[in-house]
Amino acid sequence: MTTITVAKGDGIGPEIMNATLKIILAAGARIEIDEIEIGEKVYLSGHTSGISDQSWEIIRRNKIFLKAPITTPQGGGYKSLNVSTRKFLGLYANVRPCASFYPFIQTKHPVMDIVIVRENEEDLYAGIEHQQTDEVVQCLKLISRPGCEKIIRYAFEYAKQQNRKKVTCFTKDNIMKQTDGLFHQVFNEIAAEYPEIENEHWIIDIGAAKMADTPELFDVVVMPNLYGDVLSDIAAQLTGSVGLAGSANIGEECAMFEAIHGSAPAIAGQDVANPSGLIQAAIMMLNHIGQNQVAEKVHNAWLKTLEDGIHTADIFKEGISTKKVGTQEFAQAVVLNLGKKPSVLKSVQHLNNYTLNLPKYRRRATAKKVLDGVDLFVHWNGTDANELAGKLQRLETGGIKLNVITNRGIKVWPDGFKETFCTDHWRCRFRPQQSLEISKIDIATLLTRAIEEDIDVIKTENLYSFDGKVAYSLAQGQ
Binding residues for ligand NAD, per CB under 6 A?
A: 12, 69-72, 82, 242-243, 258, 261-267, 273-274, 277, 314
Q: Which is nearer to ligand NAD, 66 or 438 (CB)?
A: 66
Q: Which is nearer to ligand NAD, 267 or 395 (CB)?
A: 267
Q: Exposed, middle or buried: residue 426 (CB in 10 Å: 0-12, 13-18, 19+)?
A: buried
CB 269 to ligand NAD: min, Å: 12
Beta strands in 186-343, from DSSP E residues, in sequence order: 198-203, 220-223, 246-250, 255-259, 310-311, 323-324
Please name every residue paired with 429 in a beta bridge, in sequence order, or none if there are none: 375, 404
Q: How far apart are CA 166 and CA 28, in angstroms?
A: 35
Q: Which is nearer to ligand NAD, 266 or 351 (CB)?
A: 266
Alpha helices, DSSP H, located in 225-291? 225-238, 276-288
Q: How far apart are CA 473 and CA 375, in angstroms?
A: 11
CB 72 to ligand NAD: min, Å: 4
**What does the longest C-alpha to C-alpha distance in the chain come to?**
82
Q: Which is nearer to ligand NAD, 224 or 240 (CB)?
A: 240
Q: Give one DSSP letter per residue of 136-164, joined into a string.
A: -EEE--B--HHHHHHHHHHHHHHHHHTT-
CB 230 to ligand NAD: min, Å: 12
CB 9 to ligand NAD: min, Å: 6
- Length of the chain counted residue by residue: 478
Q: How far apart are CA 430 and CA 392, in angstroms?
A: 10
CB 258 to ligand NAD: min, Å: 5
Q: Which is nearer to ligand NAD, 15 or 149 (CB)?
A: 15
Q: Which is nearer to ligand NAD, 82 or 337 (CB)?
A: 82
Determine the residue with CB nearest ligand NAD: 262
Pairing, β 31-36 against β 456-466:
unpaired
CB 315 to ligand NAD: min, Å: 8
CB 474 to ligand NAD: min, Å: 38
CB 277 to ligand NAD: min, Å: 6
Q: Which is nearer to ligand NAD, 168 or 247 (CB)?
A: 247
Q: Which is nearer to ligand NAD, 129 or 453 (CB)?
A: 129
CB 322 to ligand NAD: min, Å: 19
Q: Which is nearer to ligand NAD, 288 or 350 (CB)?
A: 288
Please name every residue paired with 374 in a beta bridge, in sequence order, or none if there are none: 430, 462
Q: Give one DSSP letter per residue of 302-317, joined into a string.
A: HHHHHHTTEE-GGG--
Which amino acid is present at 362?
R
CB 152 to ligand NAD: min, Å: 24
Pairing, β 456-466 against β 369-379:
antiparallel
Strand order in the sheet with 246-250: 31-36, 2-7, 64-67, 255-259, 246-250, 93-99, 113-119, 220-223, 166-171, 198-203
Q: How far apart are CA 31 and CA 291, in angstroms?
A: 10
CB 265 to ligand NAD: min, Å: 6
* Residue 407 backbone dihedrals phi, psi, to 5 degrees: -130, 120
Q: Which is nearer to ligand NAD, 262 or 432 (CB)?
A: 262
Please check whether residue 202 is in contact with residue 212, taking contact to mean a CB–CB distance below 8 angstroms: no
Which amino acid is present at 138?
Q
Q: Which is nearer to ligand NAD, 309 or 326 (CB)?
A: 326
What is the 8-class DSSP label of residue 436? S
